[in-house]
Amino acid sequence: MIRAGVLTLQGAAPEHALSLRAAMREEGQEGEVVAVRGPDDLEGLDCLVLPGGESTTIAKLLQRSGMMGPIREMAASGTPMMGTCAGCVLMAKQGDDEVKRTGTELLGLMDMRVSRNRFGRQRESFECRLEVEGLDRAFPAVFIRGPVIEECWGRCRPLAYFDGKAVMVRQGSLLALSFHPELSTDKRIHRMLLDMVPRT
């Protein structure tokens, strides 16, 4: 029985919940998906998704709800997490001038520097087939004003590139993606997250 959380403050949370359920079904894994709105919802989670949306807004809501500290502790203790798009921005240790200008507090979980809104404006969203390390076939990746991972260091390693820039990285049991795997019918990236949960 796996207990997966989806941060549900703003943004694409319901799509991630559906994707996690589908991924559990594909894996033949029993489990439940919890909508995380406050620190109490983090109790007993085996993994957590930080969805896309607006990183500025999500950061403010994380501060207000008192979840910055508890999420940092969970990551430090090895709980698998996946941040997509705005979630990827929040997982970074360093942001760009836009992050600084808006005074956005990052969770700072991963050894990487990100630039926001680097893949076009909303109407220029696009889909492409992306080669991802660890997946046997290309992944249909949907980009919606996603961040670019400009640089990663330490234990943070790129798993996929687009236009010469890293768009998916892994650091231990933490994954960060510039794109939106919850908008594809392909559930292999959500399964990757579930596979990082130690089975007892």
Q: State the residues that interact with ligand GLN by CB under 6 A.
A: 52-55, 85-86, 89, 116-117, 144-145, 147
Tokens read off for 147: 């961040």
Q: How far is the CB of 199 from ligand GLN (least distance, A)?
A: 31
The CA distance from 184 to 66, in Å, is 32
Tokens read off for 163: 């236009």
The CA distance from 121 to 103, in Å, is 22
The CA distance from 131 to 147, in Å, is 18
Angle at 36 between CA 195 and CA 192, to 5 degrees: 15
Cα–Cα separations (whole angstroms), residue 170 to 32, 45, 104, 192: 24, 20, 23, 11
* Nearer Cβ to ligand GLN (106/174): 106
133: burial class by Cβ within 10 Å (0-12, 13-18, 19+)? exposed
The CA distance from 28 to 25, in Å, is 5
Active site residues: 85, 180, 182
Which residue is nearest to ligand GLN, using beta carbons? Answer: 52
Tell me which amino acid residue 152 is: C
* Nearer Cβ to ligand GLN (2/174): 174
Q: How far is the CB of 113 from ligand GLN (least distance, A)?
A: 14
Q: How far is the CB of 56 from ligand GLN (least distance, A)?
A: 6
Q: How far is the CB of 86 from ligand GLN (least distance, A)?
A: 4
* Nearer Cβ to ligand GLN (16/46): 16
Q: How far is the CB of 194 from ligand GLN (least distance, A)?
A: 22
Q: What three-state secondary structure class fits 4?
A: strand
Q: Where are the alpha helices (DSSP H) in the chain?
A: 13-27, 55-64, 68-76, 86-91, 97-101, 188-195
